[in-house]
Chain A
Amino acid sequence: ILNVEQSPQSLHVQEGDSTNFTCSFPSSNFYALHWYRWETAKSPEALFVMTLNGDEKKKGRISATLNTKEGYSYLYIKGSQPEDSATYLCAFYPGAGSYQLTFGKGTKLSVIP
């Protein structure tokens, strides 16, 4: 059973603050690490698909880094806005004929105006 852990479980920040959270995953049999944003009553939306050790990806104010050797990824949000309030999920993808993503429980971010 693959173990994908996310921390913290929930987070409250003031508008304008920067924040980050963590995803840890197995460092063996790695193919890709995914980040999704899930807003209430909407579909989970893919943010990043990360495959290479040392990868850093950016989308507007959101960025993510990847360390496959030690099995962790960080998601950063710069200057949080109320519209960033959502649950952020990471998912481990082993590839190699397995099409199953293993998700963490998510970090629920609330940005207070």
Chain B
Amino acid sequence: SAVISQKPSRDICQRGTSLTIQCQVDSQVTMMFWYRQQPGQSLTLIATANQGSEATYESGFVIDKFPISRPNLTFSTLTVSNMSPEDSSIYLCSGGLAYTGELFFGEGSRLTVL
């Protein structure tokens, strides 16, 4: 299994600011993903982080709002840009095994936007 470290674990942010979340995996997983869980909702995939190239975004998510980097196999960042209260969520980094789809998760970053 993979151990995934994510930081910050929580933050309170002001409207209009941006925050970058970092994710470090301790082994080389095939895939890295960023998820969001808004209050009362399912875990929703934001994007697949691709090594050395632009992330692949799911419907409803755009690069300008959620820029993602993955400079190597084991590190990725997600930026939540120009935050509004609707962005208050838990953001989770995960590493996946393509064969079974099994995911290993970080502990999440709980963002509150005032």
Whether A99 touches B108, Cβ cut-off 8 Å, given contacts A34-B102, A46-B102, is no
Contact assessment for A100 and B45 in the assembled complex, using a CB-CB cutoff below 8 Å? yes
**Are B48 and A99 closer than 8 Å at their CB atoms?**
yes
Among A63-71, A72-80, A101-109, the stretch in contact with B: A101-109
Inter-subunit contact A43/B43 (CB<8 Å) = no
A41 to B107, CA, bound (A): 7
Contact of B43 among A41, A49, A103 (CB under 8 A): A103
Residues of A within 8 A of B105 (CB): 36, 43-45
State in angstroms the CA–CA spacing of A105 and B42 once bound together.
4
Determine chain B's interface SS by DSSP, over half rule: loop
Residue pair B102, A49 in contact (C-beta under 8 Å): yes
Smallest CB gap from A100: residue in B: B45
A80 CB to nearest B CB, Å: 24
Contact flags B82-113 to A (C-beta < 8 A → 1, else 0):
00000000001000101011111111100000
Count of B residues near A, CB < 8 Å? 24
A-B contact count (CB 8 A): 58
Residue in contact with A99 in the complex, picked from B40, B42, B101, B107, CB distance below 8 Å? B101
Interface residues of A in 75-102 (CB under 8 A from B): 89, 91, 93, 95, 99-102
Q: Are A99 and B104 in contact (CB under 8 A)?
A: no
A11 interfacial by beta-carbon distance below 8 Å: no
Within 8 A of B (CB), among A32-76: 32, 34, 36, 41-46, 49, 51
Q: Contacts A103-B42, A103-B43 given; indicate if A43 touches B101 (C-beta within 8 A).
A: no
Assess A99 versus B31: contact at CB under 8 Å? Given A42-B107, A43-B108, A44-B92: yes
- A93–B33 Cα gap in the complex (Å)? 14
* A41-B107, A103-B42 given; A95·B101 CB < 8 A: yes
CB of B32, distance to nearest CB on chain A (Å): 10
Q: Is B54 an interface residue (CB 8 A)?
A: no
In the complex, B72 has a CB within 8 A of chain A = no
Q: Which residues of A contact B (CB under 8 A)?
A: 4, 31-32, 34, 36, 41-46, 49, 51, 89, 91, 93, 95, 99-106
